Amino acid sequence: MMKNNYTVFLLYLCGGLILSIGAIQIYNLSRFRMFLSDQEMVQALFHFRSTQMLTVFLALLGVSALAARERINMELKRKVYTDVTGLKNKHACMEEMSILDCNDNTLDIGFIMFDLNNLKKVNDFYGHDKGDELILNFALMLRQVLDKKHFIGRFGGDEFIVILRNCSAEGMEDYLRQLEQRVKKYNEGREIVLSFASGYAISTKDHYFLMEDLLKEADKNMYKMKKRMKQGEPQSPQLSKILDADRLDPLNRDPLTGLLNQDAFFCAVKKILYSGRNSLHLAVVCSDIANFRYINDTYGYQTGNQILRRFADELSVQPFCLCAYRLFSDNFAFLADTAELSRDEATELINSWNSYFASTVNREYKASRFVINSGIYFIHNLSETIDDMLNYANIARKYTKGSLQNILVYKEEMDQFEKKKSEILTSFRHALENHEFKVYLQSKVRCADKNVCSCEALTRWEKQDGTLYYPDEFIPVLEQTGDIIDMDFYVYETVFAYLEAQERENRTILPIALNISRIHLTNPADFVRRVRALLNQYPVSPCCITFELTESTYMQDIPSARAFIEDLHRMGFQVSMDDFGSGYSSLKVLKDMPFDEVKFDKDFLLNEADENAQRILLQMISMVKSLNKTIVCEGVETEENVRLLERSGCDIMQGYYYHKPAPLEEWDACLKARRALLPPHR
Ligand code: C2E
Ligand code: CA
Ligand code: CA
C-alpha cells in the first residue's frame, strides 16, 4: 500500500518536473524571441524538445524500474505468505491480525474458524494423498464462496480462518450456508466425504480490542459445533466407511454421552483392526474417574452427568482416540492410535491428557480429588478377542487403585492377581463359615518400662489346603465387594468372645485394638448397631477395646466421621488414628478429630537412618503430644528404633522387635516367651 503511494507520488513529481521545465523553456523562448534569428529559434526549439523527451524517457525508466521492483517484492511476499492451498499461511494470518490490532476501530470485524472433521482418520486409512485432496478442495470452495477482498488463511493442518471487515451475523450465516451447499454437492456419490465444523465471532463495539480474543471466541464456537456433531445433532456428512458405527441408529449410542454403545464400539474396533492398517500401533484403554461418587455427592447428579458428557466429548476429539464407549457409570474405553509413538510415549500422551482434563475440572469446581485412572493394553496379538483386550486394559486400570500411578500398562502378572482375586471372591463365604479367618495378636509395648500394655488384632486367612493369605492380599478385594463388613465382624466377635472369657476367668485383661475398614463408614449407624449387639452378647468392658481408623476412613467426610467417633466414645470405646503420616492428614484435622491415640505409620521408622527423617519424626511427635493424644509408633524393628523413640516422647511401641503377630490361641504362651521365642509368623 505504502509502496503504491510512493510510486504515484514519484509519477506526479516527474510529470510536474517535465511540465515546469517545459513552462520555463516556453517562457524563455517567448521572452527572447525578438533577439533570436530564425535559425537560432529552430535550434532552440530542437534543444527544448530533446530536453523534454530525455526528461520524459528518464522519468519513464525510473517509474518502470520502481514498478518492477514492486512486482518482485509482491511476488516474494506472496510466496512467503502463501500456503500450498493457495491460501494465506499461518504467518500471514498472524500478521493480518496484528495489522487489525493496530486499527483504531475494530468494530464489525469477524473471524470464522473452520476445522475439517476426521482428517486424521482419512490420512490413516486412505493415505495422505486423499487427506491432501480434501484440504485442497476445501480451500478451493472457501475461495469460491467468499469475496476476494476477504482474508482467507490456512491456520494449521486442517484448520482454516476467514477474516471479514464490516460484517454481520446474517452475512456470516449466509457464507456458511453457501459453503455447506458446495460441500454437499462435492460429497455427492463420493466414498470419502468432506465434513467441517465452523464457528464465528464478530467484534462488537469496544468488546474485543485484541484480535487474539476474537480468534479464541470463534475457535470456542467452532469447538462447540464439533461437540454437537459428535452428539449426533444434524450435521454435515461424516466420514462414511470407517465410522459406519458413528452413523448408526441413535439406539446404538449411549444416551448420556452420545458415545457408541458396546455393540457399536466392538463393531468399530473390529473394522479398524481388520482394515489392513498396522494393528500393532493400536491400544485398548480403559479409564475411570476416581472419586466420582464424591463429585455426585458434593455437586449433585446433574453436574456429575455434565462432567461425564464433557469427558466423553473431549476424549472423542483427541487425535489419539479412534472410537470410544462408556462401559458403565464413570468407566470409559477407547481404541487409541499409537502410530509413530513408543509405548512409553503413548502412555505419557494419554496420561498428560488425563491430567489436563482432571486439572481443568478441579479448577472449575474448586476440587482437588478429581483424578482419571487408566489402564492400557497394547495390542500385539490379533488372535485375542476384543473382550479379552478390554479385560486386560481394565485389569491394568484397576491396578492403579493400589498404586501411586494414575496410568498403568497391562502386564501378565496383573492377570494372575485378578485370578487370585476371583478365587478369593468365590471362596470367601465358605471360608467364613469354615472359620478359615484367624485372629492374630501383636503386642504394644510401653516405652517407659517395656511392658506389654495392649495388643492389636490382625487377620490371616488360613485356607484348608494350607495356603496362608495376608490381609493386604484379601482385604482390598473384600473391600471392593463389601464382604469386609462381615469379615471384620467375624474378627470383632472372636475378640469380644475372647475378652469375655478372660474376664469371666478373672484373668488380667490386655486391651485389644480392632481395625475398622473404611467401608463401614458407608453405613456407620449399622456399624454402631452391630457393635452394640456384640456388647450385649459378650458383656466386656468397652474401655478394653480401641478401634483403629485409617485416614481413608474419615478423610472423605470429616463431619460424619467425627459423629461416628463420638458414637464410639459414648459406648465407652477408645479410638485411634491409624497410619498417621502415610497420607494427607494434617495436624489441623488431627486437632479437630476427637481421637484418643495417634499411631505413627511404620514408614517413619523405615527412613530412620536419614537424619532429616529423624528430625521430622521427633518434631511431629512433639507436636502431636501437645494435642494431648497417646502416641504409638509401629514398625519398631531394631534397637536403634527403640533408642530413637525413647528420646522422642513416644508412649507405646509396636513392632517385630518385640513381637510378631501370633495366633490368638498361642498368644499367652507367646507373651511369656517374649523376644527370644518369636513365632515364625509375619
Ligand atoms: P495396620 O493396621 O497398620 O497393621 C500393622 C501392620 O504392620 C500389620 O500387617 C503388622 O503385621 C505389620 N507390622 C507390625 N510390626 C511390624 C514391623 O516391625 N515391621 C513391619 N514391616 N511391619 C510390621 P498385617 O497384619 O499384614 O496387616 C496389614 C494391614 O491390614 C493392617 O495394617 C490393617 O490395616 C489391615 N488389617 C489387618 N487385619 C485387619 C482386620 O481384621 N480388619 C481390617 N479392616 N483390616 C485389617
Ligand atoms: Ca491398625
Ligand atoms: Ca497401622
- For 67-90, the pLDDT digits (tens) are 767 776 666 666 677 888 888 998
Q: Determine if ligand 1 sits within 6 Å of the CB of residue 33.
A: no
In this prediction, residue 152 carries a pLDDT of 93
Say whether 607 sits in a helix, a strand or coil: coil
Which numbered ligand comes closest to the C-alpha of 474? 1
In this prediction, residue 664 carries a pLDDT of 94
Distance 544 CA to ligand 2 centre (A): 16
Ligand 1 mutation target, pool 480, 483, 515, most atoms within 8 A of CB? 515
Higher pLDDT, 116 or 582: 116
Percent of the chain with pLDDT over 70: 85
Dump pLDDT digits (tens) for 381-431.
Answer: 777 889 999 999 999 998 887 677 899 999 988 888 778 778 888 899 999
Check pLDDT > 90 for residue 527: yes
Distance 443 CA to ligand 3 centre (A): 13
Check pLDDT > 70 for residue 278: no
Q: Determine if ligand 1 sits within 6 Å of the CB of residue 605.
A: no
Q: The whole model's pTM is what? A: 0.52
Distance 492 CA to ligand 2 centre (A): 14
Task: Report whether 597 contacts 618 (CB < 8 A).
Answer: no
Beta-carbon contacts of residue 503 (< 8 Å; ≥ 6 apart): 509, 540, 541
Q: Determine if ligand 1 sits within 6 Å of the CB of residue 472.
A: yes
| Nearest partner of 543 among 516, 519, 572, judged by Cα | 572
In this prediction, residue 341 carries a pLDDT of 87
What's the rounded mean pLDDT across residues 88-113?
86
The atom of ligand 1 lying closest to the CA of 661 is: 11
Q: Determine if ligand 1 sits within 6 Å of the CB of residue 471.
A: yes
In this prediction, residue 503 carries a pLDDT of 92
Cα 231 to Cα 214: distance, rounded to the nearest angstrom: 26
What's the rounded mean pLDDT across residues 10-33?
66
Percent of the chain with pLDDT over 90: 40
Cα 440 to Cα 442: distance, rounded to the nearest angstrom: 7
Task: Report whether 262 contacts 305 (CB < 8 A).
Answer: no
Q: Determine if ligand 1 sits within 6 Å of the CB of residue 661.
A: yes
The atom of ligand 1 lying closest to the CA of 484 is: 44
Average pLDDT for the chain: 84
Q: What is the largest CA-CA distance in the chain?
A: 160
In this prediction, residue 46 carries a pLDDT of 75
Which numbered ligand comes closest to the C-alpha of 576? 2
Residue nearest to atom 37 of ligand 1 (CA): 458
Distance 654 CA to ligand 3 centre (A): 10
| Nearest partner of 371 among 325, 328, 404, judged by Cα | 404
Q: Determine if ligand 1 sits within 6 Å of the CB of residue 655.
A: yes
Q: How confident is the model at residue 539 (pLDDT cuts 50, 70, 90)?
A: very high
What's the rounded mean pLDDT across residues 439-462?
95
In this prediction, residue 291 carries a pLDDT of 78
> What does DSSP assign to residue 410?
-
Which residues have a beta carbon within 5 Å of ligand 2, which is an ion?
Answer: 515, 548, 578
Residue nearest to atom 43 of ligand 1 (CA): 515
Q: Could you report how far apart the first and last alpha carbons of the chain are, in Å?
A: 86
